[in-house]
Structure 1
Amino acid sequence: MTTDGVAAKRADARRNVELVLDAATTLLATDPRVSLNEIAKAAGVGRVTLYGHFPSRAALVEAVSLRVITSTDQALSTVDLAGDPRDAMARLLEATWQLTRRFGAVVIAADDVLTPEQMRRVHEGPARRMHALVQRGRDEGVFRRDMPVRWQLATIQAVLHGASAAVHRGDVTAVDATRLVRDTVLAALAVTS
């Protein structure tokens, strides 16, 4: 095979990976239990091609999760975190929730198939931003210091994931969840007398 033939094959493979990731992101964002067959069909590729690039559902969900988190992290980098940490946290939570809402079912799919270590890895970027803001709030005396920062971050993540699941189940509306996420987290972080 010529060098051009190898390059064309590689380009086709990259295109197929993108098609699968695009289809999986779209479908998993609305249905965390969507089948790999449905994803392959939506991507316009065969199951063999899908499995050639993603040997398991977990591998595909992890790739989609990393893609979504990267996109989310880029979007969150534009949130103004200056000023009072409580106000900054409210802005960050609202922006985070809007992205979580958009990709909410991906979170549910990830919870179903990824290990705790994989989940930690896909959340590293956004967690750094949240960690810095929580630490600043603690340093300025407006966020609680009587519990570990890691616990506070885990609580924030759990509230966001719980809201996503609640919206997906129909327990609350996505609009109500914005307020509930913000108010729940800010109450959990608030200094108590």
Structure 2
Amino acid sequence: MWTGVRYERYGLNGRLSRRARVRDEDPQPADDGARAKRSDATRNRANIVTAARDVLAGDGDASMHAIAKAAGVGQGTLYRHFPTREALVMAVHRTDIAGLVDAAPLLLAQHDPVLALRLWLDHLAQYGRIKRGLGSALHTVMHDQLMTEGYAPVLRALAHLLEAGAREDRIRADVTADEVMLLLGFLWRIEADETWSSRVERMLDLVVDGLRPRGSERGHASL
């Protein structure tokens, strides 16, 4: 024989009662504790990557303990996110590449194409400076893999900036992203000393000036 509770849930005809259906369909209350833990984990990971970038840029041989201390987390937290040193360095590299790629459209939305390109090149220069520190923290094979992996998306971001400038006749249309990257090779060779910023700034200004349309090309465009 069915119990009263079962009658309440299913009704006399054996169908799920409206009250039971509503109760079953009600969404479960959000687990605020679990959500807070996920938020903390995301924040810790971001802090670790940022700290690792700063520490390794200054000392490619810095220990995981030094990175954990700079990030303000325990070593257990560090190793939960990044079980190996290589995994952490790869995360730093990929985060920086993503930042470079994402910066191109954002800068174009806020500035004219020439200024957007110049500001993006500043980001690229900082990436190059950090990359030198990260290089000594990676095995040669892994370093080559990451450089190859990151080159194509950075090249596409640069091409996007150049094309935007060419459409407005602010940047020469006969220059490719590959050619500009070759010109920017000096970024990886300038010694990171007290003169680094001033030397890089001057060299980048020269590159951007060289990318402006020649007088004859600008004149034709205005006809």
The AA in structure 2 aligned to 1:59 is A
What residue in structure 2 maps to residue 85 of structure 1? none
One of 85, 89, 92 as aligned partner of 1:61: 89
CA contact (8 A) 2:125 2:187 kept: no
Structure 1 length as normaliser, TM-score? 0.63
The AA in structure 2 aligned to 1:111 is G
Matched, 1:71 2:99: yes
One of 125, 138, 149 as aligned partner of 2:153: 125
User: Aligned partners of 2:116 and 2:32: how far apart in 1?
Assistant: 47
Task: Report the Cα offset of residue 41 of structure 1.
Answer: 0.7
Matched, 1:159 2:182: no
The AA in structure 2 aligned to 1:179 is R
Matched, 1:34 2:58: no
User: Aligned partners of 2:95 and 2:82: how far apart in 1?
Assistant: 14
Residue 33 to residue 186, structure 1, CA distance change in 2 (3 Å): farther
Q: How many equivalent pairs are there? A: 173
CA contact (8 A) 1:28 1:105 kept: no
Once the two structures are superposed, the pairs formed by residues 69-108 of structure 1 within 5 Å of their partners are 69-77=97-105, 78-79=107-108, 82=113, 88=114, 91=115, 94-108=118-132
Residue 180 to residue 50, structure 1, CA distance change in 2 (3 Å): same
Residue 7 to residue 75, structure 1, CA distance change in 2 (3 Å): closer
- CA RMSD of superposed structures (Å): 3.8
User: Aligned partners of 1:34 and 1:107: how far apart in 2?
Assistant: 15
How big is each residue's C-alpha offset from its partner over 1:101-123, in whole Å with a ceiling of 9 and x where there is no partner? Answer: 54554211343324323223334
CA contact (8 A) 2:117 2:162 kept: no
User: Aligned partners of 1:110 and 1:156: how far apart in 2?
Assistant: 22
User: Aligned partners of 1:56 and 1:156: how far apart in 2?
Assistant: 35
125-134 or 52-61: which moved more? 125-134
User: Aligned partners of 1:26 and 1:38: how far apart in 2?
Assistant: 11
User: Aligned partners of 1:117 and 1:134: how far apart in 2?
Assistant: 27
SS state of the match for residue 54, structure 2? helix
Task: Report the Cα offset of residue 38 of structure 1.
Answer: 1.0
User: Aligned partners of 1:154 and 1:103: how far apart in 2?
Assistant: 14
User: Aligned partners of 1:54 and 1:124: how far apart in 2?
Assistant: 26
Task: Report the Cα offset of residue 72 of structure 1.
Answer: 3.1
Residue 46 to residue 133, structure 1, CA distance change in 2 (3 Å): closer
SS state of the match for residue 189, structure 2? helix
Residue 102 to residue 154, structure 1, CA distance change in 2 (3 Å): closer
Residue 182 to residue 59, structure 1, CA distance change in 2 (3 Å): farther
Matched, 1:109 2:137: no
CA contact (8 A) 1:23 1:43 kept: yes
95-104 or 63-72: which moved more? 95-104
Matched, 1:44 2:68: no
How big is each residue's C-alpha offset from its partner over 1:3-44, in whole Å with a ceiling of 9 and x where there is no partner? Answer: 666555544432321221232233345444433221101122
SS state of the match for residue 97, structure 2? helix
User: Aligned partners of 1:32 and 1:169: how far apart in 2?
Assistant: 16
Structure 2 length as normaliser, TM-score? 0.57
User: Aligned partners of 1:11 and 1:134: how far apart in 2?
Assistant: 38
5+ unaligned residues in a row in structure 2: which ranges?
A: 1-30, 215-223
